[in-house]
């Protein structure tokens, strides 16, 4: 039996406390009113962060960007939805003016959602013609500040949401891997089953936390999902057309069903796995085999829908058919990496008698292979949208490349280049420190992947990895460690009577 | 490789009381014997179809592409449908030999040789379409970036059709090398058993002087593993690149990001179905039932079921996102598929690809040879229609209603397709009489872990059944 070392337990608590402090700090320092935002902007200006962003000539530049916007909007085919025109405008605006002011244009596109196609045209025409008009300029300024306020208020929420979702999905990824191992009658992995089961134990608290965050969104406590904001929807005919799917009730019911299904399988499989230890026949093993096959069917369907709901819908105007599988690859490889890292930790403490370097080698091969698979899906999605360059799709990558350049391309280096180069070597895949190093980079890289998926829609170019983000990571890491290692103490670390356990114990590659 | 211990719950992969010599004899028998009447009948039919196809191609090249049913709106129809279909079928071979090798699936050993042969023969069929659907196929060499006298006029590397050229040619070359490497020990076996000087000479040449030394085997294994590692991304990228032909476009119904993995899943799906079709016949006519067992067929059926489900998910995803996108062109493209003039092809594709593999959830069905055979053919019909639906229904009605039209194939379209089927079977029938259709060297390597003979022996000796004593014996 495993005993949770008090040092590790303390470490987990320290992480949680530090995390709460960071999260609390970020909520506390988030601006409450437009005046606060103006203060922040003024401070930044004093520090020279944004240079002459708010100087008078910049306003002129802004005006000319508007004019161009207007021209572009009219040039766009009439049947195109308003946001397409906006997208083109954002594009040109970015080229002609500095980023803060371009943001105002984005604000016009993003928030508003407050005007439909015709209104939008009119409003912009006004802005363009009357850019000398002080009143219009003031109005624009006000809107910009309001938009920034929303983004800055979203920041701590998004930080918590990204970390909560990522940790829960790691656990779900490990569970999917476990189900595959069961359904495939894998002969190498049964000695790792208890580790996988323990990691999946986090699914219960993790899913509850994510669910609470979704409910808080539905209660208008945060604005991660702008389609939940009735004022936004009232003026956005594109979201209105999706409201049959994107509505709070259905959204929450779906989430509850999916999470409930996953947790149900997890608890059932764990119960059978423990019962098999004490059994005289293979009936529990067979039950798990069937349950795993059933779960995988449920999983492939719910996983796709989950990714549309909880991730894709933060950009409710954007869509991609590949998205669900892309998200899957991201958390699946993270789940496998976590299995490898926890196995190595337990092995180093002398707990996993039968785990040898061949098992680690196999896990590292999966880390390698699924990293390549993730990159394949990332590239396919990115390249196809980049290649066809259809405006309503391409805005997704434009904002990411312009505002999130380093995280966007940095994650490709972390999730692909580094693991592929280091894990291609057979001898390396058997070295603990290499696997841990690669694993750390992979986990960090996929956190950034989720960061890139959520943040551009919720905080825009106001992103920053600061106290809130790091605090959220630390808190959920602490909670994850606490839950997983507590679960490890509940059962022997070797599944005794699994019919494939002997193969697994003697596994050498 | 993996340990020699195998769990008692695993079923034997070699049935009957076979020893090493029996494997050799069983595999060599079809090659050493003479062809029977049925073989000659089948071969004649295939050859006739092939020659008919040659005539149709000659007619096309001589007269012009206008002999086909394609028109100004539908520039791609049966040509590219057949191309993608054949490439897709070819994928299962690499999947069985490479991916299943990486996953250490011992059951692949009885089927990998034929699956790879099928890959190579179907890629050859596929490769004909990109050439003969050209208006000026005699200028096909222009797709190659060769220094030339037009001021070194180059190709544009931005086109997925050019990527196709590289993908298919690389795929064919690597598959061929992978296949042939694996054949060396088996050709050597035929060489060593040959009784006529002619066959001795032939198999001496093709076996490259294989003598089976320890060092050779060690390198052989390493090469197989490296090639499997390379072939796996290759198989994914090849069909991905084929899918890019459509997905990079701006045509509603074509431009969708899910196409790359969905085409790959569909390729595995149709490829396994074709392997199943061929092997169900082969195990019977070549008396290989001891090696290609019901379990093999069942496992292939399970893969067909899994990939069929993945394809089903992709269909539903496409439908959902077409609605969710709010783009009326996308929405219409799918409405047109379901209710337009080609609704029957869409219905056929949905029935064959989504519903038919789901029957495999029932063990009774997936272990029935007859049902497996029928389903495997149904799947390939469905997958042909999938490509047809994607290509033709997206083209015949798109942005401008003034260019909406219909597609009607001509006998030349059909003749070319029939010709490739004939050619495929000509090659496959010749292969099955001159090549060792089962990788006997590999099958022998699992004799001690997975044959019925040894499993019985261990059971009677108490090995494995009593796990505890076994582990104590072996652990130290």
| pLDDT in the model for residue B416 | 96
Residues of chain A with pLDDT under 50: 49-128, 130-131
Neighbours of B476 (CB within 10 A): 5
The residue-averaged pLDDT of B5-18 equals 88
The chain B residue lying nearest A313, using CA atoms, is B324
* Contact status of B236 with chain A (Cβ, < 8 Å): yes
Using the beta-carbon criterion (under 8 Å), do B2 and A323 form an inter-chain contact?
Answer: no
State residue A333's pLDDT score. 97
pLDDT band at B428; cut points 50, 70, 90: very high
Instruction: Tell me if chain A has a CB within 8 Å of the CB of B156.
Output: no
Q: What is the largest CA-CA distance in chain B?
A: 80
Contact at CB, B9 and A500, closer than 8 angstroms: yes
Q: Is residue B104 left, alpha or beta, with left meaning phi > 0 and alpha meaning psi from -120 to 50? A: left
Confidence of residue B463 (pLDDT cuts 50, 70, 90): low
In angstroms, what separates the C-alpha of B7 from chain A's closest C-alpha? 6
Position B462 scores a pLDDT of 67
How do residues B381-398 score in pLDDT, each as one tens digit? 999 999 999 999 999 999
- Cβ–Cβ gap B309/A509 under 8 Å: no
| Residue A190 vs residues A170, A193, A273, A295, A300: alpha-carbon distances, Å | 20, 5, 10, 18, 23
Nearest of B278, B264, B266 to residue B376 by alpha carbon:
B278
- Give dist(CA A100, CA A140) in Å, integer: 12
Partner residue opposite A301 with nearest CB, options B10, B247, B313 = B313
Cβ pair A293, B358 in contact under 8 A = no
Nearest by CB to residue A304, choosing from B260, B313, B471, is B313
- As a residue count, chain B comes to 476
Asked if B119 and B403 touch (Cβ cutoff 8 Å), the reply is no
Smallest Cα distance from B206 to chain A, Å: 32
- Residue of A242, A297, A502 with shortest CB distance to B5: A502
Average pLDDT of chain B is 92
Q: How far apart are CA B411 and CA B388, in angstroms?
A: 17
pLDDT of residue A39: 80
pTM for this model (two decimals): 0.89
Nearest CA in chain A to B399: A79
Residue A103: its pLDDT value, please? 41
- Could you count the other beta carbons within 10 Å of the beta carbon of residue A381? 22
CB-CB neighbors (< 8 A) of B318 in chain A: 321
Q: Please name the residue of chain B whose CA is at the shortest distance from the CA of residue A290.
A: B361
Query: Which residues, 6+ apart, have CB-to-CB distance to B89 below 8 Å?
Result: B118, B122, B267, B270, B271, B274, B380
What's residue A132's pLDDT?
A: 52
Measured from the Cβ of residue B401, the count of other Cβ atoms closer than 10 Å reads 7
Query: How many whole angstroms separate alpha carbon B436 and alpha carbon B27?
Result: 6
Three-state DSSP at A319 gives coil
Among the partner residues B7, B247, B326, nearest to A384 by beta-carbon distance = B247
Residue A63: predicted pLDDT: 40
- Judge whether A103 and A144 are in contact, CB under 8 Å: yes
Mean pLDDT to the nearest integer, B55-62: 96
- Is the CB of residue B10 less than 8 Å away from at least one CB of chain A? yes
pLDDT in tens, B302-320: 999 999 999 999 999 999 9
Q: pLDDT per residue over B236-292, tens digit each?
A: 999 999 999 999 999 999 999 999 999 999 999 999 999 999 999 999 999 999 999
At residue B388, the pLDDT reads 96
Within 8 A of B249 by CB-CB distance, chain A residues are 388
pLDDT at residue A67 in the model? 41
Task: Please give the biggest Cα pair distance in chain A.
Answer: 86
CA distance A446 to chain B (A): 20
Q: H or E element: which one contains A361?
A: helix A357-388
How far is the alpha carbon of B140 from chain A, nearest alpha carbon, in Å? Answer: 25
Q: B465 falls in which pLDDT band (50, 70, 90)?
A: very low
Reply yes or no on whether the pLDDT at B476 is more than 50: no
* Residue A188 touches partner B, C-beta closer than 8 Å: yes
Chain B, nearest residue to A497 by Cα = B467
Segment holding A282, helix H or strand E = none
pLDDT at A102: 40
pLDDT digits (tens, 9 = 90+) for B145-162: 999 999 989 999 999 999
The CA distance from A199 to the nearest CA of chain B, in Å, is 24
What is the per-residue pLDDT across A171-204, written as a single tens digit (0 to 9) for each?
Answer: 999 999 999 999 999 999 999 999 999 999 999 9
Mutate: best of A239, A283, A319, A381, partner B, most B CBs <10 A: A319
- Concatenating the DSSP letter of every residue in A164-215 gives HHHHHHHHHHHHHHHHHHHHTT-SSSGGGHHHHHHHHHTHHHHHHHHHHHHH
Coil vs helix vs strand at A262:
helix
CA distance B149 to B142: 12
Distance CA A337, CA A343 (A): 10
Q: What is the predicted pLDDT for the residue at A149?
A: 85
User: For chain A, how far is it from start to end, CA to CA, in angstroms?
Assistant: 27
């Amino acid at each position: 039996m495993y005993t949770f070392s008090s040092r590790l337990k303390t470490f987990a608590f320290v992480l949680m406390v530090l995390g709460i402090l960071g999260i609390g700090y970020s909520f506390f320092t988030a601006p409450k009113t437009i005046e606060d935002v103006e203060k922040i902007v003024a401070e930044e200006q004093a520090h020279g962060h944004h240079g002459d962003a708010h100087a008078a000539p910049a306003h002129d530049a802004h005006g000319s960007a508007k004019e161009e916007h207007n021209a572009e909007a009219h040039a766009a085919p009439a049947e195109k939805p308003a946001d397409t025109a906006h997208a083109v405008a954002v594009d040109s605006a970015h080229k002609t003016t500095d980023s803060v002011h371009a943001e105002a244009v984005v604000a016009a596109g993003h928030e508003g959602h407050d005007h439909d196609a015709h209104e939008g045209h009119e409003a912009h025409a006004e802005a363009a013609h009357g850019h000398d008009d002080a009143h219009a300029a003031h109005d624009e300024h006000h809107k910009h500040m309001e938009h920034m306020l929303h983004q800055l208020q979203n920041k701590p929420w998004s930080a918590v949401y990204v970390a909560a979702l990522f940790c829960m999905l790691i656990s779900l990824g490990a569970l999917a891997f476990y189900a595959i191992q069961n359904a495939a009658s894998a002969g190498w992995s049964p000695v790792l089953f208890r580790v996988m089961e323990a990691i999946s134990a986090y699914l219960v608290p993790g899913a509850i936390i994510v669910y609470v965050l979704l409910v808080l969104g539905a209660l208008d406590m945060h604005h991660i999902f702008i389609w939940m904001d009735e004022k936004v929807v009232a003026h956005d005919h594109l979201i209105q057309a999706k409201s049959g799917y994107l509505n709070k009730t259905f959204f929450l019911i779906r989430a509850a069903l999916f999470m409930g299904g996953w947790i149900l399988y997890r608890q059932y499989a764990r119960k059978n796995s423990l019962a098999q230890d004490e059994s005289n026949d293979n009936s529990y093993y067979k039950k798990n085999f069937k349950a795993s096959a059933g779960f995988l069917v449920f999983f492939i369907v719910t996983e796709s829908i989950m990714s549309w709901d909880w991730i894709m819908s933060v950009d409710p105007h954007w869509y991609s058919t590949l998205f669900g599988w892309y998200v899957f690859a991201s958390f699946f490889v993270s789940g496998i990496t976590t299995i490898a890292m926890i196995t190595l930790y337990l092995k180093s403490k002398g707990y996993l008698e039968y785990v040898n370097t061949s098992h680690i080698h196999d896990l590292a091969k999966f880390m390698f292979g699924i990293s390549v698979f993730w990159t394949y899906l990332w590239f396919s999605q990115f390249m196809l949208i980049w290649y066809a360059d259809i405006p309503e799709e391409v805005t997704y990558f434009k904002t990411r490349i312009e505002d999130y350049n380093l995280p966007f391309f940095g994650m490709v280096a972390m999730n692909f280049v580094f693991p592929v180069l280091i894990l291609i070597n057979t001898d390396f895949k058997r070295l603990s420190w290499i696997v841990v190093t690669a694993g750390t980079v992979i986990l960090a890289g996929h956190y950034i992947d989720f960061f890139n998926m959520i943040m551009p829609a919720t905080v825009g170019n106001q992103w920053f990895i600061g106290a809130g983000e790091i605090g959220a990571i630390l808190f959920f890491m602490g909670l994850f460690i606490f839950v997983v290692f507590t679960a490890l103490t509940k059962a022997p670390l070797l599944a005794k009577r699994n019919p494939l356990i002997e193969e697994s114990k003697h596994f050498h590659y | 490789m993996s340990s020699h211990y195998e769990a008692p719950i695993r079923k034997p992969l070699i049935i009957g009381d076979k020893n090493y010599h029996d494997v050799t004899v069983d595999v060599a028998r079809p090659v050493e014997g003479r062809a029977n009447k049925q073989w000659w009948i089948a071969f004649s039919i295939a050859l006739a179809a092939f020659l008919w196809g040659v005539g149709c191609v000659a007619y096309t090249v001589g007269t012009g592409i206008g002999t086909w049913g394609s028109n100004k709106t539908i520039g791609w129809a049966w040509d590219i449908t057949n191309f993608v279909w054949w490439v897709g079928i070819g994928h299962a071979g690499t999947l069985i030999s490479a991916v299943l090798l990486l996953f250490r699936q011992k059951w692949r050993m009885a089927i990998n040789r034929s699956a790879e042969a099928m890959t190579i023969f179907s890629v050859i069929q596929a490769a004909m379409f990109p050439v003969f659907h050209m208006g000026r196929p005699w200028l096909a060499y222009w797709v190659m970036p060769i220094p030339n006298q037009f001021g070194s006029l180059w190709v544009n590397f931005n086109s997925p059709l050019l990527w196709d050229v590289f993908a298919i040619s690389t795929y064919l070359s690597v598959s061929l090398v992978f296949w042939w490497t694996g054949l060396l020990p088996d050709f050597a076996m035929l060489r060593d058993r040959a009784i006529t000087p002619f066959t001795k000479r032939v198999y001496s040449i093709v076996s490259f002087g294989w003598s089976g030394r320890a060092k050779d085997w060690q390198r052989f294994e390493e090469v197989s593993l490296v090639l499997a590692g390379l072939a796996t991304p290759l198989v994914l990228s090849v069909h991905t690149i084929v899918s890019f032909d459509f997905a990079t476009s701006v045509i509603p119904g074509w431009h969708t990001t899910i196409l790359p993995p969905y085409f790959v899943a569909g390729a595995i799906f149709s490829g396994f179905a074709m392997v199943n079709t061929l092997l169900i016949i082969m195990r019977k006519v070549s008396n290989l039932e001891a090696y290609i067992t019901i379990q093999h067929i069942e496992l292939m059926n399970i893969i067909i079921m899994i990939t069929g489900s993945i394809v089903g998910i992709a269909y539903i995803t496409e439908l959902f996102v077409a609605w969710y996108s709010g783009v009326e062109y996308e929405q219409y493209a799918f409405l047109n598929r379901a209710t337009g003039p080609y609704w029957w092809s869409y219905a056929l594709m949905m029935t064959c690809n989504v519903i038919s593999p789901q029957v495999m959830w029932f063990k009774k069905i997936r272990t029935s040879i007859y049902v497996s055979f029928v389903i495997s053919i149904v799947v390939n019909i469905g997958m042909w229609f999938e490509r047809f639906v994607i290509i033709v229904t997206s083209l015949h009605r798109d942005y401008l209603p003034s260019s909406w039209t219909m597609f009607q194939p001509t006998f030349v379209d059909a003749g070319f397709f029939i010709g490739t089927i004939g050619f495929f079977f000509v090659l496959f029938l010749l292969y099955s009489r001159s090549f060792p259709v089962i990788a006997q060297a590999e099958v022998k390597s699992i004799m001690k872990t997975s044959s019925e003979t040894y499993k019985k022996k261990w059971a009677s000796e108490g090995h494995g059944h009593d796990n505890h004593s076994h582990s104590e014996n072996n652990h130290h």
